[in-house]
Structure 1
Protein backbone atom coordinates (compact mmCIF):
# COMPACT_ATOMS: atom_id res chain seq x y z
CA UNK A 1 0.00 0.00 0.00
CA UNK A 2 2.88 2.36 0.75
CA UNK A 3 4.17 1.92 -2.79
CA UNK A 4 0.76 2.86 -4.21
CA UNK A 5 0.70 5.97 -2.01
CA UNK A 6 4.14 6.90 -3.32
CA UNK A 7 2.88 6.49 -6.86
CA UNK A 8 -0.15 8.71 -6.24
CA UNK A 9 2.15 11.33 -4.67
CA UNK A 10 4.30 11.16 -7.82
CA UNK A 11 1.19 11.62 -9.98
CA UNK A 12 0.30 14.66 -7.88
CA UNK A 13 3.84 16.04 -8.39
CA UNK A 14 3.37 15.65 -12.15
CA UNK A 15 0.24 17.82 -11.88
CA UNK A 16 2.54 20.76 -11.14
CA UNK A 17 5.14 20.18 -13.86
CA UNK A 18 5.79 23.28 -15.94
CA UNK A 19 7.84 22.87 -19.11
CA UNK A 20 9.28 25.81 -21.05
CA UNK A 21 7.39 27.21 -24.00
CA UNK A 22 9.29 28.68 -26.93
CA UNK A 23 9.00 32.22 -25.54
CA UNK A 24 10.31 31.04 -22.14
CA UNK A 25 13.63 30.01 -23.69
CA UNK A 26 16.55 32.47 -23.82
CA UNK A 27 16.47 34.99 -26.65
CA UNK A 28 20.24 34.77 -27.01
CA UNK A 29 22.55 32.01 -28.18
CA UNK A 30 23.94 29.55 -25.62
CA UNK A 31 27.17 27.61 -25.28
CA UNK A 32 27.11 23.84 -24.73
CA UNK A 33 27.34 23.98 -20.92
CA UNK A 34 24.45 26.45 -20.83
CA UNK A 35 22.39 24.22 -23.14
CA UNK A 36 22.89 21.11 -21.02
CA UNK A 37 22.11 23.05 -17.83
CA UNK A 38 18.92 24.51 -19.32
CA UNK A 39 17.67 21.21 -20.76
CA UNK A 40 18.49 19.19 -17.64
CA UNK A 41 16.89 21.82 -15.40
CA UNK A 42 13.74 21.94 -17.55
CA UNK A 43 13.31 18.17 -17.77
CA UNK A 44 14.65 17.29 -14.32
CA UNK A 45 11.22 17.21 -12.63
CA UNK A 46 10.22 14.42 -15.02
CA UNK A 47 13.09 12.24 -13.79
CA UNK A 48 14.43 11.48 -17.25
CA UNK A 49 18.08 10.84 -18.06
CA UNK A 50 20.31 13.88 -18.16
CA UNK A 51 21.55 15.26 -21.47
CA UNK A 52 25.32 15.36 -21.89
CA UNK A 53 27.54 17.33 -24.26
CA UNK A 54 28.54 14.04 -25.89
CA UNK A 55 24.89 13.28 -26.67
CA UNK A 56 24.35 16.71 -28.21
CA UNK A 57 27.55 16.42 -30.24
CA UNK A 58 26.29 13.06 -31.48
CA UNK A 59 22.99 14.63 -32.57
CA UNK A 60 24.94 17.23 -34.54
CA UNK A 61 27.27 14.61 -36.03
CA UNK A 62 24.30 12.52 -37.22
CA UNK A 63 22.39 15.58 -38.52
CA UNK A 64 19.60 15.16 -35.99
CA UNK A 65 19.98 18.83 -35.02
CA UNK A 66 21.62 21.71 -36.83
CA UNK A 67 25.25 22.40 -36.00
CA UNK A 68 25.86 25.32 -33.65
CA UNK A 69 27.03 28.59 -35.13
CA UNK A 70 30.38 29.54 -33.58
CA UNK A 71 29.73 26.96 -30.83
CA UNK A 72 26.45 28.65 -29.89
CA UNK A 73 23.00 27.08 -29.95
CA UNK A 74 19.82 28.93 -30.87
CA UNK A 75 16.20 28.48 -29.78
CA UNK A 76 15.38 26.05 -32.61
CA UNK A 77 18.22 23.77 -31.55
CA UNK A 78 17.14 23.99 -27.88
CA UNK A 79 13.61 22.92 -28.72
CA UNK A 80 14.93 20.07 -30.84
CA UNK A 81 17.15 18.88 -27.97
CA UNK A 82 14.22 19.09 -25.54
CA UNK A 83 11.98 17.09 -27.89
CA UNK A 84 14.68 14.51 -28.59
CA UNK A 85 15.34 14.12 -24.86
CA UNK A 86 11.66 13.39 -24.25
CA UNK A 87 11.20 11.00 -27.18
CA UNK A 88 14.59 9.30 -27.52
CA UNK A 89 13.92 6.52 -25.00
CA UNK A 90 11.06 5.21 -27.15
CA UNK A 91 12.21 6.03 -30.66
CA UNK A 92 15.43 6.13 -32.63
CA UNK A 93 16.77 9.64 -33.04
CA UNK A 94 16.24 9.62 -36.80
CA UNK A 95 12.59 8.68 -36.21
CA UNK A 96 12.26 11.57 -33.76
CA UNK A 97 13.84 13.92 -36.32
CA UNK A 98 11.44 12.72 -39.02
CA UNK A 99 8.49 13.28 -36.68
CA UNK A 100 9.63 16.79 -35.79
CA UNK A 101 10.12 17.59 -39.49
CA UNK A 102 6.68 16.22 -40.34
CA UNK A 103 4.91 18.22 -37.65
CA UNK A 104 6.77 21.45 -38.44
CA UNK A 105 6.12 21.05 -42.18
CA UNK A 106 2.45 21.76 -41.49
CA UNK A 107 2.94 24.29 -38.69
CA UNK A 108 5.52 26.86 -37.66
CA UNK A 109 8.23 25.31 -35.45
CA UNK A 110 7.31 27.60 -32.56
CA UNK A 111 3.64 26.66 -32.72
CA UNK A 112 4.36 22.94 -33.18
CA UNK A 113 6.74 22.88 -30.20
CA UNK A 114 4.34 24.84 -27.98
CA UNK A 115 1.44 22.55 -28.98
CA UNK A 116 3.46 19.46 -28.06
CA UNK A 117 4.51 20.89 -24.69
CA UNK A 118 0.94 22.03 -23.97
CA UNK A 119 -0.45 18.57 -24.73
CA UNK A 120 2.24 16.89 -22.64
CA UNK A 121 1.63 19.18 -19.68
CA UNK A 122 -2.13 18.68 -19.98
CA UNK A 123 -1.71 14.90 -19.83
CA UNK A 124 0.69 15.13 -16.87
CA UNK A 125 -1.58 17.56 -15.01
CA UNK A 126 -4.45 15.09 -15.28
CA UNK A 127 -2.65 11.85 -14.43
CA UNK A 128 -4.86 9.54 -12.40
CA UNK A 129 -8.02 10.96 -13.92
CA UNK A 130 -10.09 9.41 -16.67
CA UNK A 131 -9.27 11.45 -19.72
CA UNK A 132 -10.98 11.59 -23.05
CA UNK A 133 -8.53 12.35 -25.81
CA UNK A 134 -9.58 15.26 -28.01
CA UNK A 135 -10.45 14.30 -31.55
CA UNK A 136 -7.66 14.88 -34.02
CA UNK A 137 -8.26 16.55 -37.36
CA UNK A 138 -5.33 15.16 -39.32
CA UNK A 139 -2.42 12.73 -39.23
CA UNK A 140 0.02 15.33 -37.86
CA UNK A 141 -2.21 15.97 -34.86
CA UNK A 142 -2.59 12.22 -34.34
CA UNK A 143 1.19 11.78 -34.52
CA UNK A 144 1.66 14.44 -31.85
CA UNK A 145 -1.02 12.85 -29.65
CA UNK A 146 0.58 9.40 -29.94
CA UNK A 147 4.03 10.84 -29.15
CA UNK A 148 2.67 12.57 -26.02
CA UNK A 149 0.96 9.33 -24.97
CA UNK A 150 4.25 7.46 -25.42
CA UNK A 151 6.16 9.93 -23.23
CA UNK A 152 3.52 9.78 -20.48
CA UNK A 153 3.28 5.98 -20.61
CA UNK A 154 7.07 5.71 -20.36
CA UNK A 155 7.24 8.04 -17.35
CA UNK A 156 4.47 6.10 -15.62
CA UNK A 157 5.93 2.67 -16.32
CA UNK A 158 9.42 3.70 -15.17
CA UNK A 159 8.01 5.12 -11.93
CA UNK A 160 5.93 2.00 -11.31
CA UNK A 161 8.88 -0.31 -11.97
CA UNK A 162 11.04 1.66 -9.52
CA UNK A 163 8.37 1.44 -6.85
CA UNK A 164 7.65 -2.25 -7.26
CA UNK A 165 11.30 -3.18 -6.62
CA UNK A 166 10.55 -6.88 -6.49
CA UNK A 167 13.48 -9.10 -7.36
CA UNK A 168 12.79 -11.38 -10.26
CA UNK A 169 12.72 -15.08 -9.50
CA UNK A 170 15.51 -16.94 -11.15
CA UNK A 171 14.40 -19.68 -13.46
CA UNK A 172 15.89 -22.95 -12.40
CA UNK A 173 17.77 -24.86 -15.07
CA UNK A 174 16.99 -28.55 -15.31
Structure 2
Protein backbone atom coordinates (compact mmCIF):
# COMPACT_ATOMS: atom_id res chain seq x y z
CA UNK A 1 0.00 0.00 0.00
CA UNK A 2 1.39 3.41 -0.92
CA UNK A 3 1.58 6.47 1.30
CA UNK A 4 -1.13 8.06 -0.86
CA UNK A 5 -3.53 5.24 -0.07
CA UNK A 6 -2.90 5.56 3.66
CA UNK A 7 -3.19 9.33 4.02
CA UNK A 8 -6.53 10.60 5.26
CA UNK A 9 -7.58 14.19 5.86
CA UNK A 10 -8.88 15.13 9.31
CA UNK A 11 -12.50 16.04 9.89
CA UNK A 12 -13.26 19.48 11.36
CA UNK A 13 -13.58 18.10 14.92
CA UNK A 14 -10.10 16.55 14.55
CA UNK A 15 -8.48 19.90 13.69
CA UNK A 16 -6.78 21.67 16.63
CA UNK A 17 -9.15 23.78 18.71
CA UNK A 18 -6.36 26.04 19.93
CA UNK A 19 -5.22 29.16 18.14
CA UNK A 20 -2.16 28.61 15.97
CA UNK A 21 0.70 30.76 14.73
CA UNK A 22 1.32 30.79 10.98
CA UNK A 23 4.34 28.45 11.29
CA UNK A 24 2.20 25.92 13.17
CA UNK A 25 -0.60 26.22 10.62
CA UNK A 26 1.85 25.63 7.77
CA UNK A 27 3.45 22.65 9.51
CA UNK A 28 0.08 20.97 10.10
CA UNK A 29 -1.09 21.76 6.58
CA UNK A 30 2.08 20.44 4.98
CA UNK A 31 2.10 17.30 7.14
CA UNK A 32 -1.17 16.35 5.43
CA UNK A 33 -0.52 17.72 1.95
CA UNK A 34 3.05 16.71 1.18
CA UNK A 35 2.43 12.92 1.28
CA UNK A 36 -0.58 13.41 -1.00
CA UNK A 37 0.52 16.09 -3.46
CA UNK A 38 4.29 16.19 -2.98
CA UNK A 39 3.98 19.95 -2.57
CA UNK A 40 3.96 22.36 0.36
CA UNK A 41 2.16 25.60 1.13
CA UNK A 42 4.47 28.53 1.94
CA UNK A 43 3.98 31.68 4.01
CA UNK A 44 3.87 33.74 0.82
CA UNK A 45 1.17 31.52 -0.65
CA UNK A 46 -0.93 31.79 2.52
CA UNK A 47 -0.59 35.58 2.56
CA UNK A 48 -1.71 35.64 -1.08
CA UNK A 49 -4.75 33.46 -0.26
CA UNK A 50 -5.70 35.84 2.56
CA UNK A 51 -5.13 38.94 0.42
CA UNK A 52 -7.26 37.51 -2.41
CA UNK A 53 -9.93 36.53 0.17
CA UNK A 54 -9.79 32.88 -0.86
CA UNK A 55 -9.20 31.88 2.77
CA UNK A 56 -10.71 33.88 5.64
CA UNK A 57 -8.17 36.27 7.15
CA UNK A 58 -7.03 35.45 10.68
CA UNK A 59 -7.84 37.65 13.65
CA UNK A 60 -4.68 39.35 14.93
CA UNK A 61 -2.43 36.65 13.41
CA UNK A 62 -4.24 33.94 15.36
CA UNK A 63 -5.15 31.08 13.05
CA UNK A 64 -8.04 28.74 13.73
CA UNK A 65 -9.79 25.74 12.22
CA UNK A 66 -11.25 27.76 9.35
CA UNK A 67 -7.81 28.84 8.09
CA UNK A 68 -6.38 25.32 8.45
CA UNK A 69 -9.35 23.78 6.65
CA UNK A 70 -9.06 26.37 3.90
CA UNK A 71 -5.32 25.76 3.51
CA UNK A 72 -5.85 22.00 3.23
CA UNK A 73 -8.50 22.30 0.54
CA UNK A 74 -6.69 25.02 -1.42
CA UNK A 75 -3.50 22.97 -1.22
CA UNK A 76 -5.26 20.02 -2.83
CA UNK A 77 -7.11 22.01 -5.48
CA UNK A 78 -4.52 24.63 -6.53
CA UNK A 79 -2.76 22.37 -9.02
CA UNK A 80 -6.00 21.67 -10.84
CA UNK A 81 -8.12 24.80 -10.50
CA UNK A 82 -7.29 28.49 -10.72
CA UNK A 83 -7.49 30.42 -7.47
CA UNK A 84 -10.50 32.25 -8.94
CA UNK A 85 -12.27 28.92 -9.49
CA UNK A 86 -11.41 27.76 -5.97
CA UNK A 87 -12.74 31.01 -4.52
CA UNK A 88 -15.95 30.68 -6.54
CA UNK A 89 -16.32 27.08 -5.40
CA UNK A 90 -15.93 28.10 -1.76
CA UNK A 91 -18.52 30.85 -2.23
CA UNK A 92 -20.98 28.44 -3.85
CA UNK A 93 -20.58 25.87 -1.07
CA UNK A 94 -21.03 28.50 1.64
CA UNK A 95 -24.28 29.81 0.16
CA UNK A 96 -26.16 26.85 1.63
CA UNK A 97 -23.93 25.64 4.44
CA UNK A 98 -21.34 26.65 7.01
CA UNK A 99 -17.56 26.16 6.71
CA UNK A 100 -17.54 23.13 9.04
CA UNK A 101 -20.18 21.23 7.05
CA UNK A 102 -18.66 22.18 3.69
CA UNK A 103 -15.20 21.09 4.82
CA UNK A 104 -16.46 17.83 6.32
CA UNK A 105 -18.36 16.97 3.14
CA UNK A 106 -15.21 17.49 1.06
CA UNK A 107 -13.05 15.48 3.49
CA UNK A 108 -15.50 12.57 3.67
CA UNK A 109 -15.62 12.32 -0.12
CA UNK A 110 -11.83 12.66 -0.37
CA UNK A 111 -11.14 10.04 2.32
CA UNK A 112 -13.64 7.62 0.80
CA UNK A 113 -12.26 8.01 -2.71
CA UNK A 114 -8.59 7.82 -1.76
CA UNK A 115 -9.20 4.40 -0.16
CA UNK A 116 -10.70 2.89 -3.30
CA UNK A 117 -8.59 0.42 -5.19
CA UNK A 118 -8.34 1.23 -8.87
CA UNK A 119 -10.39 -1.22 -10.92
CA UNK A 120 -8.45 -2.88 -13.73
CA UNK A 121 -9.79 -0.68 -16.52
CA UNK A 122 -6.84 -0.97 -18.89
CA UNK A 123 -5.65 -4.17 -20.50
CA UNK A 124 -2.03 -3.07 -20.59
CA UNK A 125 1.02 -3.31 -18.42
CA UNK A 126 2.66 -0.37 -20.17
CA UNK A 127 3.32 2.26 -17.47
CA UNK A 128 3.31 5.07 -20.03
CA UNK A 129 -0.15 4.12 -21.28
CA UNK A 130 -1.33 3.96 -17.66
CA UNK A 131 0.15 7.40 -17.04
CA UNK A 132 -1.57 8.78 -20.14
CA UNK A 133 -4.85 7.21 -19.06
CA UNK A 134 -4.57 8.76 -15.58
CA UNK A 135 -3.73 12.15 -17.10
CA UNK A 136 -6.77 11.98 -19.38
CA UNK A 137 -8.98 10.98 -16.43
CA UNK A 138 -7.65 13.92 -14.40
CA UNK A 139 -8.44 16.31 -17.23
CA UNK A 140 -11.93 14.88 -17.69
CA UNK A 141 -12.70 15.11 -13.97
CA UNK A 142 -11.40 18.69 -13.95
CA UNK A 143 -13.64 19.56 -16.92
CA UNK A 144 -16.62 17.93 -15.20
CA UNK A 145 -16.03 19.82 -11.93
CA UNK A 146 -15.45 23.10 -13.76
CA UNK A 147 -18.66 22.66 -15.78
CA UNK A 148 -20.64 21.95 -12.60
CA UNK A 149 -19.21 25.07 -11.02
CA UNK A 150 -20.06 27.21 -14.06
CA UNK A 151 -23.53 25.67 -14.24
CA UNK A 152 -24.14 26.51 -10.57
CA UNK A 153 -22.87 30.07 -11.11
CA UNK A 154 -25.11 30.55 -14.16
CA UNK A 155 -28.18 29.24 -12.31
CA UNK A 156 -27.66 31.79 -9.54
CA UNK A 157 -27.27 34.67 -11.99
CA UNK A 158 -30.59 33.94 -13.71
Q: Does 1:22 align with 2:19?
A: no
Match of 2:18, SS state, is coil
* CA–CA distance in structure 1, aligned partners of residues 18 and 37 of structure 2: 27
Q: Which residue of 2 aligns with 1:94?
A: 84
Q: Which residue of 2 aligns with 1:172?
A: none
The verdict on how the C-alpha distance between 1:106 and 1:48 changes in structure 2, with shifts beyond 3 A counting, is: farther
Q: Which residue of 2 aligns with 1:114?
A: 104
Higher relative contact order (CA 8 A, sep 6+): 1
* TM-score, L = length of structure 1: 0.65
Q: Is the 8 A contact 1:17 1:45 kept in 2?
A: yes
Runs of 4+ in 1 over 3 A off after TM superposition: none
Note the alpha carbon deviations across 1:63-82, whole angstroms, 9 max, x for none.
21222211111111111111
Largest Rg, 1 or 2: 1
* CA–CA distance in structure 1, aligned partners of residues 19 and 37 of structure 2: 26
* TM-score, L = length of structure 2: 0.71
* CA–CA distance in structure 2, aligned partners of residues 67 and 122 of structure 1: 30
TM-superposed CA distance for 1:97, in Å, is: 1.2
Match of 1:54 among 44, 55, 62: 44
Q: Which residue of 1 aligns with 2:28?
A: 38
Q: Is the 8 A contact 2:21 2:63 kept in 1?
A: yes
Q: Which residue of 2 aligns with 1:68?
A: 58
* CA–CA distance in structure 2, aligned partners of residues 88 and 69 of structure 1: 24
Q: Which residue of 2 aligns with 1:134?
A: none
Deviates more, 1:104-113 or 1:78-87: 104-113
Q: Which residue of 2 aligns with 1:124?
A: 114
Note the alpha carbon deviations across 1:85-110, whole angstroms, 9 max, x for none.
11011111121011012112222221
TM-superposed CA distance for 1:20, in Å, is: 1.0
Q: Which residue of 2 aligns with 1:163?
A: none
